[in-house]
């Protein structure tokens, strides 16, 4: 009997893919999976599924297949998946961003084995690497401003403030990945004012949007939450 396969739909073709490959390798992920790049941001997906439609009437995989420009990848969307994980950046500086859009998507994509589960990175996937050390005692204080997001300088800042100034050398062991994941969980709890567990994406988004009203976003990588949600023993 074939093992069920998981689909990881990521936003970009480089950093996003490499991060998921790193995590799945470090944790010895033995379940079959596909990592596919959507190659544009989440607000394009909103336009394709939500703007003029009830998303419940659409098949996400077929929407993705229609969007895919590479004919060699199209058959991947005809396969059967036990779970679908959508990993995107908040990108609040994007002209298409509105809080209503992202709230609607976060409230819809809540179950990986059904419609899919959305993990948003704040402000983007580079949040995983935004640490001076592992762990980083100041991580809860890291925010990205509207100005640096609009000017496109946030990634440069992460490159400068990353412990190794080289993503390939950052968090290369399971112990270091554990520490990064745990610190992001603790920051999510701090943002949502909850004592334990992993806050749900809707609560995290609500907290982040309150900061965006002040023209800032609290740096947080939530795509790593999939690892302990898949198996809590992995980060012990």
CB atoms within 10 A of CB 47: 12
How many other β-carbons are positioned within 10 Å of the β-carbon of residue 37?
17
Exposed e or buried b per residue across 177-213, where buried means at least 16 C-beta atoms within 10 angstroms of its C-beta:
bbbbbebbbebbbebbeeeeebbebeebbbbbeebbe
Per-residue pLDDT of the chain (236 residues; tens, 9 = 90+): 456 799 999 999 899 999 999 999 999 988 899 999 999 999 999 999 999 999 999 999 999 999 999 999 999 999 999 999 999 999 999 999 999 999 999 999 999 999 999 999 999 999 999 999 999 999 999 999 999 999 999 999 999 999 999 999 999 999 999 999 999 999 999 999 999 999 999 999 999 999 999 999 999 999 999 999 999 998 87
Q: Give the count of alpha carbons within 13 A of 77, CB side only.
A: 20
**pTM of the full predicted structure?**
0.95
Give me the phi and psi of 202, to 5 degrees please: -65, -45
For 36, residues 6+ apart whose C-beta sits below 8 A from its C-beta are 7, 8, 9, 10, 64, 73, 76
Query: Which CA distances in Å does 95 have to 50, 103, 117, 219?
Result: 17, 16, 24, 20
Sequence spans of domains, the chain: 5-224
* Residue in 134, 142, 217 with CA at minimum distance from that of residue 182: 134
């Amino acid at each position: 009997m074939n093992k069920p396969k998981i689909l990881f739909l990521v936003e970009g073709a480089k950093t996003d893919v490499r991060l998921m490959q790193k995590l799945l390798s470090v944790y010895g992920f033995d379940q079959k999976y596909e990592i596919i790049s959507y190659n544009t941001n989440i607000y394009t997906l909103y336009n394709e599924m939500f703007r003029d439609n009830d998303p419940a009437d659409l098949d996400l995989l077929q929407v993705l297949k229609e969007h895919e420009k590479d004919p060699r990848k199209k058959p991947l969307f005809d396969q059967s998946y036990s779970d679908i994980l959508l990993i995107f950046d908040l990108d609040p500086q994007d002209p298409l961003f509105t809080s209503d859009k992202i709230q609607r998507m976060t409230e819809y994509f809540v179950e990986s084995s059904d419609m899919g589960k959305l993990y948003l990175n704040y402000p983007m996937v580079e949040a995983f690497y935004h640490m001076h050390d592992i762990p980083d005692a100041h991580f809860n204080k890291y925010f990205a401003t509207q100005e640096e997001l609009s000017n496109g300088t946030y990634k440069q800042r992460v490159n400068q403030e990353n412990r190794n100034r080289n993503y390939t050398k950052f968090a290369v062991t399971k112990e270091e990945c554990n520490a990064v994941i745990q610190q992001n969980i603790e920051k999510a709890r701090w943002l949502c004012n909850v004592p334990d567990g992993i806050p749900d994406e809707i609560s995290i988004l609500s907290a982040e949007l309150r900061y965006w009203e002040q023209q800032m976003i609290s740096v947080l990588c939530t795509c790593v939450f999939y690892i302990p949600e898949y198996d809590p023993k992995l980060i012990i």
